Chains A and B, each alone.
Chain A
C-alpha cells in the first residue's frame, strides 16, 4: 500500500515541478494537478478501504528515521483515513470544478491549491504540535492566496482581514505551543497529553491558548467576521473548499487536541458550539447575499459539529455516528450549494430563480437545502434524531432545545430562499451555461448525500431499509418526469395501489389504523384520479405527491417512534412541495413549512422524553412517560396540533389550502390534516385519561374555540377555496374537541367527523377546485347561476354541504347526535354549546357556498361554460357513494369502531339489530330516519306535482325586483359580504389577532438578528479586537 507520506511528497513535488512549465503548457500542468489530487485521493482512499475491511491497524508514520518525541510523526488511523479521504475528494472535485479558472491564473495558482489540500492532510495526520502550527500556517497563507482568485477589491479586503485574524491567532498559538513544550518537555501531542500540563495554572493557560486558537480557526460566532468575508468574497468554488475541507480538518484537529486539557474542557466546547450554531443561524435570517448566507450556514453547521465534539463524553458509543453523520452532511451539502452558487453567479438570493432553468440543478438545490435542515432521508436527519435522543436521555434537555432552535433559525432563511427559487418571477432571458466540469461534482455530492442517508440506516435504532422502498419509486417517478401527465398519473395510481396492497397486512386487525389507511391510501388514489383532467407534463408533481403519501403510509405502518418521525418529516416535505405549486402560495407554503418544522421539533422532544423513560424506540414508549410527563405530552400534543391547525397554530392553513392547485387542495385538506388527527389519537390513547386530565381539558376548550373561529372566518370569506380551508379548521376543531373528551361517545363522534370530513371535504374541494379552474376566479361573488350549467357538480356540492351542516338524514347528523350525547355525559356543557353554535354557523357558509356558486344570477362570461370533466366527477361521486352508505347504515361503520374503543373506554352506546343506536340519554335510528324522510319527500313531491299544472320557465331576469327588471347579473347576485348583519354583531371574534401575534414574533427575531449583526462592522482591525475579546472572555469563563 502507498504510504500516506507520499501525499506530502507528491503534492509538494508536483507543486514545485509545476514551476518548470511556462504559460504555454497550461493544459499539461492543469491535468498534472488533477492527476496529483487524484493520486492523493487514491492514497487516502485505499487506506480508508483497508480500515473499512479491517485489514490494517492504526499506523504511525515516523520521519527522519527517529521516533517521537525526538522527531515528527504522523498517524494514519481509521479516523484520519476518513478525514483525509473527505478532504482529498473535495479537493479533487474542487480542482475539477475550478479547472478553467486555475488554468487562467496559471501554474502558481495550481501549486497553491494543491499545497492547500496537502496541508489539510498533514494537519489531520500530524501528531506534533509545532508541525501542526507550520501546516496550519501553510493552510492560511494558501487560503489567503486562493481568496484573490476572485480579482476584485472586496476579495482583496477579505484576504487582508483574513491574514490579520490568522496572524494574531497563530501568534497566540505559538506562545501556547512553546510553553506546552516548556512544561511537558515535548512537542508530541500524545506526550503532552500524558504529561498532564493542565494541572498547574500556567500549564492550563498554555493548553487554553492552544485550544482557544484551534476553536478560533473554526470561526466561532461572533468572532468570525473575517471568515464570513472570505465566504462572501472568495470564488464560490473555493468557498466550497473552505467550508467543506478546511472545516473538516479544523474540526478533527480540535477533536485530536482536546484531550490535552482533559475532561474539563469539553463543556466549554459545547457552549461555544451552541452559541455559534444558534447565533450564526439567527443572524443569517437577515442575510440577502447568497455566498455570505452560505457562510453563516457553514459556520452554524460547524458549530453544531463542534458541539457534538464537546459532547463526546456524554454521547459515548453513539458519538462517532452522530458526529460523522452531521459532518458528512454539512460537507456534502455545503460544497454542493457553494458550487451551485458558482454556476448561478447571482449575489442576491432573490435572483436565484434562474436555477429553475435547469431542472437537475433545481433538484440538487432542493436536496442540499433539505439535507441541511435535517429532513429524511439525509444523514443529518439520522444524526440529529440520535443526538436529540441521547441528549434528552442524559438530562441535557437545554442543549437539545438550543440545537433545535438553531436548526429552526436555519430553516427560517433556507426555506425563504427555497421559496424564492421555486416561485419568484423569472425576469431574465439569459440561460445558464453549465460546463460539465462544474456540473459533475455537484451531481456527485448530491448523489452521495442520498447514499449516505441510506447507509446511515443500520446505525439508528428503529430504522429500516423498508422505509426506502417508496423513496426508490419516487426517484423513479422523478426520472420519468418527461412523460405526459396521464402516463405518470396511471403509474402513480398503480404504484400506490400496489404499495397499499403490500402494507395492508401491517394495519390489518388494527381498526383505527385501517380507517386511516382507507383515508390516506384510497383517498389518495381517488384524488390522484382527479389529476387525469390536467393537460401537459405536470412536471415535478408526481414525485412530491407520492412523497407525501409515502410519508403517510410510513406514519401508519411504523411501529417505532423513529419510523413515525421519518414518515412525518417525509410527509411534511412532500406536502410542502405540493402546496408551493400553487400560483400565489409562496408565502403560505413558507409559513406552513415553518410551523411544520417547529411542530416536528416539539414532537421530536416529546419522543425523546418517551425514549428516556422507556428506553426503547418502540411506539409503546409513549405509554405513561415517566419523566417530565406533562411537558412531554404537551409538547407532543402541540406538535401534532400544528398539522391539525388548531387555533393559534392555524394561520398557515387558509392560504396553503386555498391557493393550492385544484386537486392538491383535497389532498392536503381532506387527507393530510388527518395525519395530525392520527397522531393526536395515538397520543391520547397512550396518554390515557388520568395522566392528561388538565391537558385534555385545555385541549377541549381549544378545540371548541377553533371550531367557532374557523367556521366564523369561513362565513366571511369571499374566496371559495379559502372558505373551504377555514371550514377545515373548524371541522378539525370539532375533532380535537371530540377526542379530548376521552369517552367512547366522544371518540365515536371524533371518528365520525374524521370520516365525514374526509368524504365531504374531498368532494367539495375536488368540485369547487374544478369550478374555480373553469370560471377562472376564486371569488364567490363573481360566480353564480351555474346550476343550469353544472347540475352534477351541484348535486355533489349539495350532498357535501348537507353532510357538513349535519342535517339529517345524511351522515353528518350521526356526528352531531354522538356529540350531544358525549357532551352531556362528559359534562362539558359550555364548550359543547360553543361547538353547536359553530355548527349552526357552518350551515351559513355551507349555504353561502352553494348559493353563490350555483344559484342566483348567471354571469355573462359564464354563459357557455361546460360541466366538469368526468375525471373530477367520478371520484366525487364515488365519495358520495361513501356518504350515502354511511348515512344509510351508520351502524355498520360505527358499531365496530365502538367495540374497538370499548377496549379503552367504558362502552356507552349499543346497537340493536335494526340500526337503532341507544345511549343512556338518547336514541337514533339513522336507517329509519332516512327511509321516513325519503318517503315523505316522494309523497310531498307527488302532491306538488299533482296540484301543479304545466309550468313555464322564466327568463333569468324575470323577477319581482322593486318593480323593475335588473339588467346586470352583477348587481343582482347577492353574495359579497353576505352575512353583513352577523359580521356587525360578532365579526370582532375573528379579528386577525393571532396572525399579528406571530408577525410580531418574527419581527422581533429579525430585529434581534439585525442588531447582533452590527458587530460585523467590516473593519479587519475590529475583527482582530473581537478575537482578543473572545479569547479573554473564554479565559475568564474557563480558567478565570
Chain B
C-alpha cells in the first residue's frame, strides 16, 4: 500500500482516538468539577450525546460565508496542531506529519484556528463575540511571552526545536524530563499553559455569566458541533504539547492518555480553586511572574550552554 495513504490512515486513526479521548476527558473533568462544587455533574457520555443532538438539529441559521468558514478554520487549526506534533516517542507510524515543521510551526499554528474563530464569530455581528475575541487575543499575546521564553530555554538546553530530538533527550527515566532538567522553564511553560487552556482564572475570554460563552455566542447546531470537536481535540493536543515539552512525552498510547489527563487536570484543578481574573489583570500577571521566571530560565540555560 502506498506509504502516504498508509500514513494518512494511521493519522486518521490517531485523530479519532484523540477526539474521543478528548470528549471523555472533558466530561470527566466536568464531573470532577461538579463534585468539588458538591453537585452530581453530567454523565460520562454527555459529550457524545451533545454531538449527536447538535448534528441532528433541523434548522441551520447562518450569518454569512465566513460564519460558515470560521468553524472550519478553527477545526483545521486543532487538527493541524495534532498533525504537526508526533504522538508517540520514536514511533514512525505515530509521528504524523511532524516532518514538515517543528515546535516553531506549532506555536504559530495556534493562531490559525484562533483567526478563523475570530473571523467567523465576528461576522455574526454579535458584540459579545467580538468582546470575547478581543479579550482572547490580548490574553493570548500575554501568554505567548512566558511560553516563548520557556520554548527558547528548552531550545537552548537541547539545542533544537525539533520534537523528536527534544523527546529523545528526555527518555530514560523521569529524571531526564525537562521538568527536572530545566525546572524554571517548565514552571514558566506550565503557567503559560494555564492561559493557553483558558480555564479559570483565565477564562474571561468566554466568561459564561458576563458574555454568554464568548466567541461562540452565535454558534449552534452543526457549526457548534465542529467547534466542540475542535475543543475536544485541542485540549488533548495542548496537553500533549506540554507533555512532550516537559514530561518526556509518551511512548505508548497508555502513557499518552495518562500524561495528557494529568497535564490537563492541573489546569482544571487550578481553575477550580482560583477566582477569575479581569483581562488586564491576567495580562499583567502573565507579563510579571511567569515572564520573570522565563527570563531567568533562559539566562540560566544560556549560561549553562
Contact = CB atoms under 8 A, between A and B. Distances in A.
B100 A924 contact: yes
A785 B127 CA distance: 13
B235 interface: no
Contact of B302 (A785, A829, A943, A956): A829
B126 interface: yes
Most chain B beta-carbon neighbours within 10 Å: one of A923, A928, A975: A923
Sorted nearest first, the 5 A-B pairs with minimum C-beta distance are: A981-B279, A928-B100, A922-B161, A984-B280, A985-B283
A1001 interface: no
A950 B108 CA distance: 35
9 contacts: A813-B105, A830-B295, A847-B115, A851-B130, A940-B76, A950-B60, A974-B127, A984-B280, A985-B287
Contacts, number: 240
Interface in B233-270: none
A923 B162 contact: yes
A857 B125 contact: yes
Nearest to A983: B280
A808 interface: yes
Interface in B84-103: 84, 97, 99-103
B137 interface: yes
A951 B105 contact: no
Contact of B141 (A785, A816, A843, A922): A843
Contact of A850 (B62, B119, B135): B119
Contact of B222 (A839, A947, A982): A947
B75 interface: yes
Interface string B60-75: 1111111011011101
Interface in A520-558: none
B76 A937 contact: yes
Contacts of A978: 130, 134
Contact of A856 (B122, B148, B217, B278): B122
Interface string A889-909: 000000000000000000000
B59 to A, nearest CB: 7
Contact of B101 (A806, A923, A975): A923
B152 A932 contact: no
Most chain A beta-carbon neighbours within 10 Å: one of B59, B68, B69, B152: B152
B221 A948 contact: yes
A883 to B, nearest CB: 16
From DSSP, what is the main secondary structure of chain B's interface residues?
A: helix
Given A820-B155, A936-B76, 18 more contacts: A820-B104, A829-B156, A840-B141, A843-B111, A844-B137, A848-B134, A856-B122, A856-B125, A921-B161, A924-B102, A944-B222, A944-B226, A949-B58, A952-B60, A954-B62, A960-B218, A961-B126, A981-B134
Most chain A beta-carbon neighbours within 10 Å: one of B114, B130, B140: B130
Contacts of A817: 104-105
A833 interface: yes
Nearest to A974: B130
A510 B266 CA distance: 56
Interface of B: 55, 58-66, 68-69, 71-73, 75-76, 79-80, 83-84, 97, 99-105, 108-109, 111-112, 114-115, 118-119, 122-128, 130-131, 133-135, 137-138, 140-142, 144-145, 148-149, 152, 155-156, 159-162, 212, 217-218, 221-223, 225-226, 278-281, 283-284, 287, 294-295, 298-299, 302
A979 interface: yes
A58 interface: no
Contacts of A73: none
Nearest to A832: B152
Contacts of B128: 960-961
A309 B127 CA distance: 72
A13 to B, nearest CB: 87
A949 B128 CA distance: 26
Given A940-B79, A947-B55, A985-B284, A855 B122 contact: yes
A922 B212 contact: no
Given A808-B105, A959-B126, A982-B138, A836 B144 contact: yes
A105 interface: no
Nearest to A928: B100
Given A816-B104, A952-B59, A856 B130 contact: yes
A985 B109 CA distance: 26
Interface of A: 785, 787-788, 798, 802, 805-808, 813, 816-817, 820-821, 823-824, 827, 829-830, 832-833, 836-837, 839-841, 843-844, 847-848, 850-851, 855-857, 920-925, 928-929, 932-933, 936-937, 940-941, 943-944, 947-954, 956-957, 959-961, 966, 972-975, 978-979, 981-982, 984-986
A812 B300 CA distance: 31
B222 A855 contact: no
Contacts of B68: 944, 951
B140 A840 contact: yes
Contact of A936 (B83, B131, B135): B83
B196 to A, nearest CB: 12
A518 to B, nearest CB: 27
A933 B138 contact: no
Nearest to A961: B126
Contact of B126 (A836, A848, A850, A960): A960
A824 B152 contact: yes
B152 A829 contact: yes
Contact of B105 (A839, A843, A844, A929): A929
Most chain A beta-carbon neighbours within 10 Å: one of B135, B148, B281: B148
Contacts of B61: 951-952, 954
A844 B139 CA distance: 10
A823 B287 CA distance: 21
B283 A982 contact: yes
Contacts of B218: 959-960
Nearest to B62: A951
Most chain B beta-carbon neighbours within 10 Å: one of A788, A820, A848, A984: A820
Contacts of A856: 122-123, 125, 130
Given A805-B115, A816-B104, A837 B225 contact: no
B141 A982 contact: yes
B148 A961 contact: no
B295 to A, nearest CB: 7
Nearest to B211: A962
Nearest to A927: B100
Contacts of B122: 851, 855-856
Contact of A953 (B64, B142, B152, B222): B64
B280 A808 contact: no
Contacts of A950: 60
Contact of B135 (A807, A821, A925, A981): A981
A787 B119 CA distance: 11
B102 A948 contact: no
Given A829-B152, A954-B62, A986 B101 contact: no
B75 A940 contact: yes
A949 B152 CA distance: 46
Nearest to B149: A833
B89 to A, nearest CB: 18
Nearest to B82: A936
A836 B302 contact: no
B60 A985 contact: no
A270 B225 CA distance: 83
A787 B66 contact: yes
Given A807-B108, A840-B144, A847-B133, A981 B62 contact: no
Contacts of B283: 981-982, 985-986
A920 B130 contact: no
Nearest to B283: A985
Contacts of A961: 126-128
B123 A932 contact: no
Nearest to A829: B298
Contact of A837 (B62, B123, B145): B145
Nearest to B128: A961
Given A855-B122, A922-B104, A944-B72, A820 B279 contact: no
A985 B285 CA distance: 9
A951 B160 contact: no
